[in-house]
């Protein structure tokens, strides 16, 4: 037993080393051609390609959480006093955002059902932008096609990172991209102890309270306070921040596996259509916010983008686009979806049960036939 555990640990370590090597090579290549946020974008693309090709990708939960913690501190260091003066605009911005989210979900649902003939459960859960953990948990209680949901949602995330990063790099200008130390100075050991200690406390509180993205959000809030009050206005050194971006890219890229490859190509038209609808309608909501609130385009683009709280908060820091504003909007979207999704799942399950009862009463002989085809049960 001990030998098996030892071999398993060695295998896991080898998979982790291989994953990080692929991500690092991808990041280095992207950096060499001056792509925006190169270490994140390059790692995401290369690891996604490797994972779909059958390479065993592994990022342990502990490493992922440590990365979110570091990136949360870094994002919080980008919060400036100017943020306080814009807080009064946020509630209206939240409302505009959620109207956009509702339109995205409704339009995508109709598109998937009418264009591809998807059943209502699968179309509904595939159309919800973000909150994938809640979506999958709720969908598993219905007869939704989980493969379709995972592929469409994951493809949308990869396309989102791949499209937004170079777009913002072009619009915001390459000189705003963070490749060095930003968000403070290299301070004293005491300042780092205060910063990390407060971030650990709030991150732990965020996780225990089950707030969406609680770990990265708690670290962000603590860091924002420490930098805003100038108690510990210190920066995360590049030799820590850059590997964290690589790990985040590996985490995003590894969401699709080899077994999803065939489904990914088969579902590519549906995924591209869902992505186009999400970007278009979110963009229209962003235009409304841009006109009414006079908030910069880059901030709105990242805040209203459909999904990926951690990745888009990191991008906000990289482009110096008020990560607190971006993170707040994704938390609001996540929480609204987290409250709505279980209700939808229960309603669909109840309706399905009622439909089954009616079907049995209308045609009792139907229950005598057993089939492994999920669509036949629908």
Domain parsing of the chain, residue ranges? 78-230+259-352
Percent of the chain with pLDDT over 90: 29
Q: Does the structure show a pLDDT above 50 at 358?
A: no
Give 185's strand partners: 234
Token digits for 284?
Answer: 């229209």
Helix or strand or coil: residue 234? strand
Gyration radius (Cα) of the chain, Å: 22
Taking residues 64-76, report their average pLDDT: 87
Q: Measured on CA atoms in the order 6, 10, 13, 15, is the torsion positive or negative?
A: negative
342 contacts 221 by C-beta, under 8 angstroms: no
pTM here is 0.68
CA distances from 239 to 81, 118, 162, 180, 244 (A): 27, 47, 24, 9, 9
Query: What's the CA gap between 292 and 32, in Å, rounded?
Result: 40
pLDDT at 366 over 60: no
Residues 289/89, Cβ–Cβ less than 8 Å: no
| Strand runs labelled E in the chain | none
| 3-state percent breakdown (helix, strand, coil) of the chain, nearest 5 | 80, 0, 20
3, pLDDT greater than 80: no
Going by pLDDT thresholds of 50, 70 and 90, the confidence category of residue 224 is confident
Q: Tell me the C-alpha distance between 93 and 115, whole Å.
A: 32
pLDDT of residue 236: 84
Residue whose tokens read 């595939």: 126
- pLDDT (0 to 100) of residue 178: 46
Residue (of 123, 158, 51, 102) closest to 270 by Cα position: 123
> Which has more confidence, 366 or 42?
42
Q: In angstroms, how far is the first alpha carbon of the chain from the final one?
A: 45
Q: Which residue has the tokens 């179309």?
A: 123
pLDDT(295) > 90: no
Q: Which residue has the tokens 């065939």?
A: 262
**96-119 pLDDT per residue, tens:** 999 999 999 999 999 999 999 999
| Bridge partners (DSSP) listed for residue 234 | 185
Q: For the chain, what is the mean pLDDT?
A: 79
DSSP for 36-70, please give it: TTHHHHHHHHHHHHHHHTT------HHHHHHHHHH
63: pLDDT strictly greater than 60: yes
Mean pLDDT confidence for 203-226: 83
Mean pLDDT of 22-29: 95
Site of tokens 């956009």: 100
Query: For residue 175, what is the DSSP state?
Result: G
Q: How far apart are CA 148 and CA 126, in angstroms?
A: 7
Question: Up-side HSE of residue 92: CA atoms within 13 Å toward CB?
Answer: 12
């Amino acid at each position: 037993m001990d030998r098996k555990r030892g071999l398993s640990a060695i295998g896991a370590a080898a998979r982790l080393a291989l994953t990080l090597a692929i991500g690092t090579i991808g990041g280095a290549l992207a950096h060499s051609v001056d792509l925006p946020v190169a270490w994140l974008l390059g790692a995401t693309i290369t690891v996604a390609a490797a994972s779909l090709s059958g390479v065993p990708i592994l990022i342990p939960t502990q490493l992922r959480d440590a990365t979110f913690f570091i990136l949360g501190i870094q994002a919080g260091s980008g919060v400036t006093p100017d943020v306080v003066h814009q807080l009064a605009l946020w509630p209206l911005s939240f409302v505009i955002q959620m109207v956009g989210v509702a339109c995205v979900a409704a339009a995508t649902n109709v598109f998937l059902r009418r264009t591809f003939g998807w059943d209502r459960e699968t179309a509904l859960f595939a159309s919800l932008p973000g909150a994938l953990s809640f979506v999958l948990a709720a969908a598993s209680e219905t007869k939704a096609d989980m493969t379709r949901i995972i592929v469409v949602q994951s493809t949308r995330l990869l396309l989102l990172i791949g499209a937004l990063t170079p777009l913002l790099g072009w619009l915001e200008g390459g000189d705003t991209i963070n490749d060095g130390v930003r968000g403070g100075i290299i301070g004293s050991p005491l300042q780092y102890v205060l910063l990390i200690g407060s971030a650990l406390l709030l991150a732990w509180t965020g996780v225990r309270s089950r707030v969406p993205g609680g770990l990265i959000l708690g670290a962000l809030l603590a860091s924002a306070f420490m930098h805003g009050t100038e108690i510990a206005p210190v920066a995360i050194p590049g030799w820590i921040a850059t590997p964290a971006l690589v790990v985040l890219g590996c985490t995003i890229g590894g969401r699709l596996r080899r077994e999803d490859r065939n489904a990914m190509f088969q579902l590519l038209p549906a995924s591209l259509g869902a992505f186009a609808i999400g970007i278009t309608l979110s963009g229209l909501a962003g235009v409304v916010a841009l006109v009414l609130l006079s908030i910069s385009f880059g901030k709105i683009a990242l805040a209203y983008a459909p999904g990926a709280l951690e990745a888009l908060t990191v991008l906000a820091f990289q482009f110096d686009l008020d990560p607190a504003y971006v993170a707040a909007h994704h938390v609001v979207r996540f929480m609204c979806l987290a409250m709505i999704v279980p209700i939808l799942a229960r309603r669909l399950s109840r309706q399905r049960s009622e439909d089954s009862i009616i079907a049995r009463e209308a045609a009792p002989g139907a229950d005598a036939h057993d089939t492994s085809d999920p669509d036949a049960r629908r």
